[in-house]
């Protein structure tokens, strides 16, 4: 990931509401969440406020939207989020992997990729 794209991603995440939205969408997984459900999870955020933050995150490449009938579904772009982490850790430890061990352990996904979510 290039530095300018990383800066845009980190800038988008540096606002509380947008960070909460991304964390919600990461938890929701690839199927994502409808805009209304995101607003409810944020404590009833107004449509205009929510739209502003979703647009900002989408322009930064952190989330994407798709239409399903009357609903707009938003989901995290996991490749971009992984790219941000990789950007931070690319030159980690200057050849001393033991220093990065806590970071690697924190990133160890406890999800079983062979299981699918029930809908």
Domain boundaries, the chain: 1-111
How far CA 6 is from CA of 31, 51, 65, 82, 93, in Å, comes to 25, 22, 20, 11, 20
pLDDT at 102 over 90: no
pTM here is 0.83
> In angstroms, rounded to a whole number, what is the distance separating the alpha carbons of residues 30 and 93?
32
Query: Mind listing the pLDDT tens digit for each residue in 6-46?
Result: 999 999 999 999 999 999 999 999 999 999 999 999 998 88
Give the pLDDT band (50/70/90) at residue 118.
Answer: very low
- Judging by beta carbons within 10 Å of its beta carbon (0-12, 13-18, 19+), is residue 22 exposed, middle or buried? buried
| Parallel/antiparallel/unpaired status of strands 33-34 and 63-68 | unpaired
Computed on alpha carbons and rounded to an integer, the radius of gyration of the chain in Å comes to: 16
Which residues, at least 6 apart from 92, have a Cβ–Cβ distance to it below 8 Å? 99, 100, 103
Architecture of domain 1-111 in CATH? Orthogonal Bundle (1.10)
Beta bridge partners of 63: 76
Query: Mind listing the pLDDT tens digit for each residue in 38-84?
Result: 999 999 888 899 999 999 999 999 999 999 999 999 999 999 999 99
């Amino acid at each position: 990931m290039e530095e300018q794209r990383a800066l845009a991603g980190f800038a988008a995440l540096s606002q509380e509401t947008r960070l909460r939205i991304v964390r919600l969408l990461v938890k929701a997984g690839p199927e994502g969440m409808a805009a209304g459900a995101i607003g409810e999870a944020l404590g009833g955020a107004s449509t205009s406020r929510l739209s502003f933050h979703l647009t900002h995150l989408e322009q930064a490449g952190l989330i994407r939207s798709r239409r399903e009938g009357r609903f707009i579904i938003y989901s995290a772009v996991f490749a971009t989020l992984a790219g941000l982490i990789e950007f931070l850790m690319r030159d980690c430890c200057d050849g001393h992997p033991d220093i990065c061990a806590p970071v690697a352990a924190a990133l160890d996904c406890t999800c079983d990729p062979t299981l699918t979510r029930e809908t």
